[in-house]
Each structure stands twice: as structure tokens, then as C-alpha cells.
Amino acid sequence: MPKRFWSSTMFRRVLSASLLMTTVLVTVLSASIPSWAHSDLLNSSPSQGSVSAEVSSVTLTFVDEIVPEYTALALTRGDGSQVELDEPSTDATNRIVSVSPRDGMLSDDSYVLGYYIVSIDGHPIEGAVSFEVAGAPTPEVSETPAPDASATPTEEATAVPFAVEARTADSGVSNGVEWVWIGTGIATVVVLGAVSVVLLVALRRRRDANN
């Protein structure tokens, strides 16, 4: 009678260990994969519909993290003209975005700040915040010398619409970390599940042979 290489007890131990490993892996992956919730605007300063005397910057706070590289803002006056803005900055949590006008303070007018952001899950979100500035101090106008006619005019940069510029984020962000995590987790669970099934079938066949 040939000697058994594995006993029934050994099969049970290997099968139990494999099933335990699968359970632990699923739990770890569930805890480590971030929640792919879309980020929304939590609040802004100035707030929606507010009237302020002095505004030197606009701040947007979002519920969840955003991708700073794909953030675009545009500030428009009541007559439709755009306010030149500095580059927006993001805090360490990647939830608060601030931007300032290049001229410093905003003059009396109504404004609409349009924003286009990409949340950490790759989902694009856009919206607008309307506010008004009234009672802002009038800046002092200083006399400047007339420009030299012989000077070479600087070439004005062509502005790209903020929404078009930011939409390049869609294909890059959503296909990155998210699919790596999900693909790795699914592949690992499938492999461990297959091993468990093979061991279980082998154990049942051995029991039938012994009976």
C-alpha cells in the first residue's frame, strides 16, 4: 500500500490556512483602498451671495482631497471681463484652495468665481461662487512716465479657458492609483480562492478513497 504523502489532518490545516489568508487579505485591501467619494465644495470665503468691503483673496474648501495639479479658477466681473489671478495655492490637506487677484484688492463690483477641480478619485467637479464687493477703498493713482515708443512690446500670452485646460485630468488621474489597487486586490483574491478550492476538492477525493 503506497504511503500517504499528506494526511487528512495536514490537508485540513493547509486548507484552513489558505482560507484564513484569503480573509485577511480581503480585510486589509478593504481598509487600505481609499474611499472613492467625490469631493464637493464645503464652503467659500467670500461666501455665496455675500457682500464684502474688502476682498484680497478667495478661498474654496472642499469636503475631500483634490488633485492640485488639475485645479483651474476664473474670476469674472459683472460686465463679463476677467480678473487676472495669481497661481492658486493648496494647503497641506489638499482640501483648501486659495487664489488672489494680481492687482491686490478687488474693486467695487459683482464677481463670479468659476472653479474646475478633480477629486482624488479622478472625478471632475465644476461650479461657481457669486459675491459682491462694495465700499472697497479707492487705490491712489500715481503718475507714470509715458512708455518709450521704441521699446519692443511684450507678446501677450494667450489664455486658455480654465475648464478646457483642467479637463486633461480626466484620463490621467482616474486610471492611476485606483485601478492598480483594485486590479492587484482582485487578482490576489482570485488566486488564493483557487488554491482553497483545489485543496478542498483534493481533501474530499481522499476521504472518498479512504471510505
Q: Please report, as a single letter, which amino acid is at residue 99.
A: V
Residues paired with 61 in a beta bridge: 43, 96
Task: Examine the domain organization and report whether 45 and 68 are in the same domain.
Answer: yes
HSE, CB side, 13 Å, CA atoms: give it for residue 93: 9
Task: Examine the domain organization and report whether 165 and 70 are in the same domain.
Answer: yes
Q: At what angle do helices 8-32 and 177-210 cross, to 10 degrees?
A: 160
Residue 148 inside a domain? The answer is no
Residue 164 inside a domain? The answer is yes
Nearest to 22 by CA among 200, 206, 202: 200
- Residue numbers of the domain that contains 19: 8-32+177-210
Residue 152 inside a domain? The answer is no
Residue 190 inside a domain? The answer is yes
pLDDT band at 135 (very low <50, low <70, confident <90, very high): confident
Q: Which residues of 135-157 are buried (b: 16+ CB within 10 A; e: fewer)?
A: ebeeeeeeeeeeeeeeeeeeeee
Task: Examine the domain organization and report whether 28 and 67 are in the same domain.
Answer: no
Task: Examine the domain organization and report whether 194 and 165 are in the same domain.
Answer: no
Mean predicted lDDT score pLDDT of the chain? 75
Per the CB < 8 A criterion, the answer to whether 15 and 196 are in contact is yes
Number of domain units in the chain? 2
- The whole-number average pLDDT for the span 30-53 is 78
- CATH number of the structural domain spanning residue 105: 2.60.40.1220
Task: Examine the domain organization and report whether 75 and 50 are in the same domain.
Answer: yes
Task: Examine the domain organization and report whether 129 and 54 are in the same domain.
Answer: yes
Task: Examine the domain organization and report whether 27 and 46 are in the same domain.
Answer: no
Residue 98 in grid coordinates = 486659495
- The whole-number average pLDDT for the span 96-116 is 96
Residue 120 inside a domain? The answer is yes
With vertex at residue 96, the alpha carbon angle to CA 83 and CA 164, rounded to the nearest 5 degrees, is 50
Q: Which residues contact 40 (CB under 8 A, 6 or more apart)?
A: 62, 63, 64, 125
Residue 127 inside a domain? The answer is yes
Task: Examine the domain organization and report whether 45 and 120 are in the same domain.
Answer: yes
Q: pLDDT digits over 67-96, tens only? A: 999 999 999 999 999 999 999 999 999 999
117 has a pLDDT exceeding 70 = yes
Q: Which residues contact 134 (CB under 8 A, 6 or more apart)?
A: 51, 52, 53, 108
Q: pLDDT digits over 152-171, tens only? A: 444 443 344 444 444 444 44
Q: pLDDT digits over 163-207, tens only? A: 444 444 444 545 554 555 566 667 666 666 666 666 666 666 766
Task: Examine the domain organization and report whether 80 and 130 are in the same domain.
Answer: yes
Task: Examine the domain organization and report whether 12 and 77 are in the same domain.
Answer: no
* Lowest-confidence region among 44-53, 79-88, 128-137: 128-137
Residue 144 inside a domain? The answer is no
